[in-house]
């Protein structure tokens, strides 16, 4: 409505209601409120476009939040049991089992998590578990939970040094027996009769591998030397659809260059999709005194690759993995 129109409306108003209606229309035009509907339509369209994109980047952070909630629980548990700490050698058993139950429940509800071959993990004595590293190794968390709940054992783990620099993680790493990974410390853990889990691909494999599931171990053979020095069996492990649950943008040239040049693991991770996860444990590779580290490393890599070839359809597909989430019957690919 133009200024002359507004003036005509105001002058021609016969009663208070008509006058107020004219005033409202005049204010609406003056403030530009007539365009609000157009703005809201544009905003609604942008939300429709970007909300799914935001969600797939937010979900990985929820896993981090879950980890911090685990740490918070441990802090509370520690405070509550201060008086018992001096009298018990197993102060943290209850905390570990409680957290294992939470993670096991998360895996069952969100991913329909299954583990095949858990009987290959010894009830007593040492073994080295070697696994493929996903963008987020959430399958390994589920595996640890299964070992605690079904085997009654705590599997020690080797993690990248960056994990030890994250604020607040120290207690969580200590309670779950996570070590930085010097060979001497790994050998000591195994000789003391513990299980030990390690991913030779580590952060590099987490960031730079993709839905074709290449093993990025390079010439690493330290894990094999640990197994030889400890004279323990090596058990290969792989989780189906792991890269469909979470993916990394590390394959993009910029992020790959930043990692290769500066060892900065800054590639964004997205996902959190409720795809079907199945963890498979291969047959143990027994200690052979006639096999050197290079030969054992090659044999273990072939064993993990065999699990990938047998149980993972290449390339991985998120939609297919989502459908498998509701298809409970196991089917090898």
What are the pLDDT digits (tens) for 94-106? 888 888 988 988 8
d(CA 217, CA 192): 27
d(CA 255, CA 259): 6
Q: What is the pLDDT of residues 318-329, one digit of tens each?
A: 999 999 888 755
**Cα–Cα nearest to 104, from 260, 277, 243, 233:** 277
CA 143 → CA 30, 68, 209, distances in Å?
64, 19, 21
The SS3 of residue 289 is: coil
Q: b/e string for 254-269 if b means 16 or more Cβ within 10 A?
A: ebeebbeeeeebebeb
Q: What is the pLDDT of residues 78-131, one digit of tens each?
A: 656 544 554 455 677 888 888 898 898 889 888 999 999 999 999 999 999 999
Q: What is the pLDDT of residues 187-220, one digit of tens each?
A: 999 999 999 999 999 999 999 999 999 999 999 9
Active-site position among 106, 111, 133, 311? 133
Annotation marks residue 333 as catalytic: no
d(CA 209, CA 267): 12
């Amino acid at each position: 409505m133009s200024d002359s129109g507004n003036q005509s409306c105001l002058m021609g108003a016969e009663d208070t209601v008509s006058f107020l209606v004219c005033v409202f229309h005049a204010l609406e035009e003056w403030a530009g409120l007539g365009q609000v509907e157009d703005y809201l339509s544009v905003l609604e369209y942008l939300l429709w476009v970007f909300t799914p994109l935001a969600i797939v980047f937010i979900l990985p952070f929820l896993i981090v939040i879950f980890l911090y909630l685990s740490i918070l629980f441990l802090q509370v548990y520690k405070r509550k049991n201060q008086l018992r700490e001096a009298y018990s050698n197993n102060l943290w058993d209850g905390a570990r089992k409680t957290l294992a139950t939470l993670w096991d429940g998360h895996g069952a509800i969100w991913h329909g998590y299954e583990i095949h071959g858990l009987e290959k993990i010894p009830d007593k004595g040492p073994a080295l578990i070697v696994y493929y590293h996903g963008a987020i190794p959430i399958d390994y968390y589920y595996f640890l939970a299964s070992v605690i709940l079904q085997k009654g054992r705590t599997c020690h783990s080797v993690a990248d040094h960056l994990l030890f620099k994250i604020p607040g993680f120290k207690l969580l790493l200590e309670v779950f027996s996570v070590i930085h990974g010097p060979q001497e410390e790994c050998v000591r853990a195994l000789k003391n009769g513990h299980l030990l889990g390690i991913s030779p691909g580590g952060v590099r494999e987490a960031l730079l591998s993709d839905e074709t599931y290449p093993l990025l171990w390079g010439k690493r053979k330290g894990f094999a030397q640990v197994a030889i020095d400890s004279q323990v069996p090596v058990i290969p492990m792989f989780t189906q659809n792991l890269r469909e649950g979470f993916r990394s943008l590390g394959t993009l040239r910029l992020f790959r260059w930043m990692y290769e040049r500066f060892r900065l693991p800054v590639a964004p991770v997205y996902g959190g999709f409720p795809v079907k996860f199945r963890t498979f444990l291969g047959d143990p590779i027994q200690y052979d005194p006639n096999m050197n580290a290079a030969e054992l490393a090659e044999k273990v890599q072939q064993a993990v690759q065999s699990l990938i070839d047998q149980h993972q359809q290449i390339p991985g597909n998120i939609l297919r993995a989502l459908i498998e989430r509701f298809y409970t019957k196991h089917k090898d690919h």
